[in-house]
Structure 1
């Protein structure tokens, strides 16, 4: 018996479930190196269950802010990530994006980026999907439309994940006065289709004047925009939602507005859709946050807005709340000449200033988490 115990001590053993749990907590860069350890590990890193568990840990422990720098006249894909150490790190663009003359990020979801290249006039490959962590990029299939040309109209692009279908979708909304055409791309089917415009809450005349894509929450994509109702006599700010599973559109009323509203944004707060506005006077700003929650409200609707908090005044009249980062709100400050950043913690009700050099010229901001999710593309 003693001899057997000695053999066990000389040959330490970890159960496979413990090894798996350790691996799910490691950064993607390490897992990329460990693929050559053995075939079992290489296959494990491609297993959907392992990929989901790894993302769960990464999302809790290592969320990033991704921002694109550049001038409005060039749109170069000059990307940086900002981690919890508040250090900026530049992304290396894949050769395919360099070949297509850079471009801009139009969406971020579960470690995947949707990129719109600049060189649209030479190709109908108008979008790319890219996972920078595993260095994989995919040309989205050719389309029968051009994103750089829609007669007398505008387009808006959304990119998000649908948990119920385990699918990533790109939604392109074209409109002139009304919404007129919608195209949806599915990563699982690797194909486009046109979606019928079925809006279940719009029996009055309206005209879209602006639309801005912001977030996807639990498989539902949200925009906010301006509409003109009653034959153009009344302007109203509303939220447009698109369910990625059922492919049905809905118009959602906004929560209470302030006459001194300076900026507004849609975010994800505690797993729910949040609407954040910033009000200002001559010297100070304040942040107000509402959350869209299920429950019968005073009007009998099954969903209603609940106001969660109003921040203390912040000594700046140029505060722009952008997104939730962990448990804090990431904000930009614009003083007319340069951009700085500040984090607001709703729990402590405190602002923290950060001087981040690369934030100057920042014009695209996204949440980003490294993941092993594949775009079924090519490695570089």
Structure 2
């Protein structure tokens, strides 16, 4: 009797959907029917949605031999999971940083002496894939990045933005990598007058890349010219259609905020943290942009918080607690805190020696579309990379 033939198909599927990546890797060898089910696109997408487990991930990047990441699991009690980055793409590396993650797949930027590299790393399987930047596209100096799954086209894309600003005008060029075709292409950039990119981290939400830009305007009070006002807007890039646009109206800010705002994701919506420095306290508002992008809604008002000038909201833990990061100038440490809006209490969960440290929130799901590519690569039966340099 064939393996699993005595069980209904829907029961097998529902059982497999609840299993971790490592188990499904083994179960592909049970029979051809299970292999076809586990590697089908419908199962891949269903499994991603079925396992919404999140981790906080901190990426440590420093000079020397030790390049790695550390993760704090959502259900952990402060214990960190340390992992070394794959060694082969890190050869001759000067520095590196995690530039985005989606469904358990991490995209890493590696700066080398004479060039830069990018690679994708599947945390579930430990496999990686080098993304060779084509010389024909010319020299790009990355200013900001975007990486994520694009539901509209059922694919993953990497956006690299080069800032070639001139005379106070923001002038952005961009290239896009598409995973399914293993290809790069240059896309039409955007120029914005009297503007500049914000210092915070950009975010990809449901296939749309967002980043803050600021426009300087005259600030005259009672006939006296003061420091120019910094008026924010949001630059967006539709990763399905490779088109830039802007969101300018209705942003939740006031003139006192200046640059004290940053973007994040909340329940598949774009969210914005707007924080204000009072005399003795720190106040944080969290807003979300509705899917039609016409209205902002205030979710939380977090106060009072300790007055720490460098505090920054990074995202949400299980869509409940706000992840806050702040830097201690006295201790030279990054401090990671969780803030619960329902109780208005915060707790320190980790401290980091922050020399060359960057922070990134990763969604820890079993990302089977990439795992599927890795399996095919290892088996060398279903898929062949273009060129031996693709092998990992």
CA shift digits 1:68-100 (9 cap, x unpaired): 1244x5696320111121321012422323435
Q: Are 2:235 and 1:240 equivalent residues in the alignment?
A: yes
Tell me how far 1:331 sits from its aligned partner. 0.8
Match of 2:370 among 358, 361, 374: 374
What aligned pairs does 1:1-380 form with structure 2 within 5 A after superposition? 14-59=7-52, 62-71=53-62, 77-83=67-73, 84-86=75-77, 87-99=79-91, 101=93, 103-119=96-112, 121=114, 126-144=117-135, 155-177=143-165, 178-197=170-189, 205-208=193-196, 210=198, 212-228=200-216, 235-253=230-248, 254-257=251-254, 259=256, 263-293=260-290, 303-318=294-309, 319-327=311-319, 328-336=321-329, 337=331, 338-346=333-341, 348-357=342-351, 362-371=357-366, 372-374=368-370, 376=373, 378=377
Tell me how far 1:137 sits from its aligned partner. 1.4
TM-score in terms of structure 2 length = 0.78
TM-score in terms of structure 1 length = 0.80
The worse-fitting range, judged by mean Cα deviation, of 128-137 and 11-20 is 11-20
Tell me how far 1:345 sits from its aligned partner. 2.8
Tell me how far 1:120 sits from its aligned partner. 5.6
Tell me how far 1:14 sits from its aligned partner. 3.7
Unpaired segments of 5 or more residues in structure 2?
219-226, 379-391
Tell me how far 1:113 sits from its aligned partner. 1.4
Unpaired segments of 5 or more residues in structure 1?
1-10, 296-301
CA shift digits 1:276-306 (9 cap, x unpaired): 12223354322201111256xxxxxx71322
- Count of paired positions: 350
CA contact (8 A) 1:226 1:235 kept: yes
CA shift digits 1:206-243 (9 cap, x unpaired): 3425464421112111011334469x976432211001
Tell me how far 1:251 sits from its aligned partner. 1.8
Distance change (3 Å), C-alpha of 1:324 and 1:214: farther
Within 2, Cα distance between the matches of 1:76 and 1:238? 39
Higher strand share: 2
Within 2, Cα distance between the matches of 1:228 and 1:221? 23
RMSD: 3.2
SS in 2 for 1:49: helix
CA shift digits 1:339-366 (9 cap, x unpaired): 32222233x2433413325575542222
SS in 1 for 2:112: coil
Distance change (3 Å), C-alpha of 1:12 and 1:70: closer
Tell me how far 1:320 sits from its aligned partner. 2.0
The worse-fitting range, judged by mean Cα deviation, of 208-217 and 320-329 is 208-217
